[in-house]
Amino acid sequence: MAELKESIAQHYHERTKYEPQTITSKNKVLDWKQQPVSFKEYKLGRSYDLKPYLQEQAGTETDASYRTWQRLSRLLFCSYGLTARMSTVTGSFLYLRSAPSAGGLYPAEVYVVSRGTPQLPAGLYNYQALTHSLVNFWQDEVWSGLQGACFQHPMLENTELAIVITAVFYRSAWRYEDRAYRRIFLDTGHLLGNIELACAIHDYRPHLIGGFADQAVNQLLYLEPEQEGAIAVIPLADLLDEEQYLPPASTVLPSATQAEYPQIPDGELLGYLHRATQITEPQEWKVELTAPKTQSDKYNFPFCEKISTQTAPIEWGNHLEDLEQTLIKRRSTRAYSGADLTLAELKALLDFTYQPQNYVEQALDGSPDYFSLNLIETFIAVSGVTDLDEGCYYYAPKAQELRQIRFKNFRKELHFLCLGQELGRDAGAVLFHTADLQSAVAQYGDRVYRYLHMDAGHLGQRLNLAAIHLGMGVSGIGGFFDNQVNEVLGIPADEAVLYITTLGRPR
Ligand SMILES: Cc1cc2nc3c(=O)[nH]c(=O)nc-3n(C[C@H](O)[C@H](O)[C@H](O)COP(=O)(O)O)c2cc1C
């Protein structure tokens, strides 16, 4: 039988794999003085200061307008606000945000589109994280343009505000070159995780839209498409307005699958893939476009050890105040001591991340939007968890159990697989998100590559927040020896590794 030709997304994935033989030659020396700025500036536009709304102010309890501002201000701050400042070797400051970002490069920009509300006149706003303000750089009716660009997505019918996330590609490509595309979408997934949870705290329901006419959204926002591109549109239903209660809708549309492409030189692959995964033809939203939920987990191994992960949910405070605090104080752990985690902690992390239905009583969404979550699988390498054998496990989210696939202490191997990063060696558990790229592309075209990485990042952010809340250490890892992860840990070869999350005791 003739072999199927790789689509462009599969080709990109193969070409951007790190290999032990080539990694050092690929490591370029970085001139930190040339690092692109991770903030966008607008010369013109009215600025709306959001800082006064971060603190509670006496006498504002019954002021509806103040409350609305406060909800928006806190939503943006918890999602992408500046939450720490560090000095760098060049004497400048590095600002860290509530969402993590590979290398602290923050390629994502956040925009707010208003249909016209008492607080925000119709138009376009950019979130200025540096000053925690919104700059209104375009005043006019833009909502119908957004609806058209999103092929009349039902969630834009009754809503009045939408967040649009874009990526400024060079901010990340400067350091990570072509492989930056993966990290840009993982970063955005983390940001989506924050938006999802911060919305729940502040009475909004975010609806994800991953399928839109890229060119039309880019034009609407006045972007330079070679430098910056829209990657997610998120209408915000205001839950204080019953008119805006909307049943869940589909979040994704397929793109073409490109199997014929020229020889693409290194350095041009990222831009090529981004263009190839755009939606260029008009499409229609079907009532139920997402694949029906399967009842069983993908992998079962007849004689393997199975450990139930069912547990009591994490408590986030009476009014989710502990969740809000966690969003603001989250940091990536820089070193682990090597000490064990407990099985109870691991179960709690898995419960919060994969079992959102257990959090409805705490006013969180029991079924938050993802793009193509049913295509993602989870494997966990356990090096130090009390009451759990060392080895590699498949996490079966429907059965809520860990299924052991290899017995071994992998610390040394994990150190190597994570490109020599000690975080991999000293973690108590290292979690891998994977997907079968070939069948994913068959389902949604090459654009699925974006969806998969955003969903993996979104899951990663829930793991981050749960870990921080429970006093554990956590860090994402976007650089790893792709093929060797599968070989060493026994993860099926068809499963492309998307992302790693390390968990451990902070040193
Ligand atoms: C997609 C992604 C990949 C990352 N990869 C690594 C990594 O390989 N090694 C590492 O030490 N940290 C990694 N991090 C953590 C970032 O370095 C960290 O988020 C950034 O420095 C900002 O700090 P903060 O998370 O404390 O806000 C990654 C984070 C993300 C979101």
Query: What's the CA-to-centroid distance between 377 and ligand 1, angstroms?
Result: 22
Would you say the pTM of this structure is higher than 0.85? yes
Write down the mean pLDDT value for the chain: 95
Pocket perturbation via mutation, ligand 1, pick of 336, 461, 477, 502 by most ligand atoms within 8 A of CB: 477
Strands of 309-388 (E only): list them.
341-342, 376-382, 385-386
Q: Is the pLDDT of residue 222 over 60?
A: yes
Whether the per-residue pLDDT at 291 is higher than 60: the answer is no
Percent over 90 (pLDDT), the chain: 89
Per-residue pLDDT of 92-128, as tens digits, reads: 889 999 999 999 999 999 999 999 999 999 999 999 9
DSSP H or E stretch at residue 185: helix 180-201
> Are the C-beta atoms of 479 and 18 separated by less than 8 Å?
yes
CA–centroid distance, residue 477 to ligand 1 (Å): 7
Q: What is the pLDDT of residue 76?
A: 98
Task: Report which protein residue has its CA nearest ligand 1's atom 26.
Answer: 331
Greatest mean pLDDT among 2-11, 14-23, 245-254, 471-480 lies in 471-480
End-to-end, the C-alpha distance of the chain in Å comes to 54
Better-scored residue on pLDDT, 469 or 91 = 469
Across 286-292, average pLDDT: 59
What is the predicted pLDDT for the residue at 56? 82
> Which has the minimum average pLDDT: 218-222, 246-250, 310-314?
246-250
Question: How far is it, in rounded angstroms, from Cα 428 to Cα 418?
Answer: 14
Which range, 3-17, 51-65, 227-241, is most confident?
227-241
For ligand 1, the distance from its centroid to the CA atom of residue 428, given in whole angstroms, is 18
Tokens 């600025």 identify what position? 47
**Candidate from 23, 27, 194, 332 with most ligand 1 atoms within 8 A of CB, to mutate:** 332
The Å distance, Cα 331 to ligand 1 centre, comes to 9
pLDDT value at residue 289: 46
The Cα–Cα gap between 8 and 229 comes to 19
At residue 293, the pLDDT reads 61
Higher pLDDT, 237 or 23: 237
Domains of the chain (ranges; CATH) run 31-276 (3.40.109.10), 293-504 (3.40.109.10)
Assign 294 a pLDDT band (cuts: 50, 70, 90): low
**pLDDT tens readout for residues 361-384:** 999 999 999 999 999 999 999 999
Give pLDDT tens digits for 405-427. Answer: 999 999 999 999 999 999 999 99
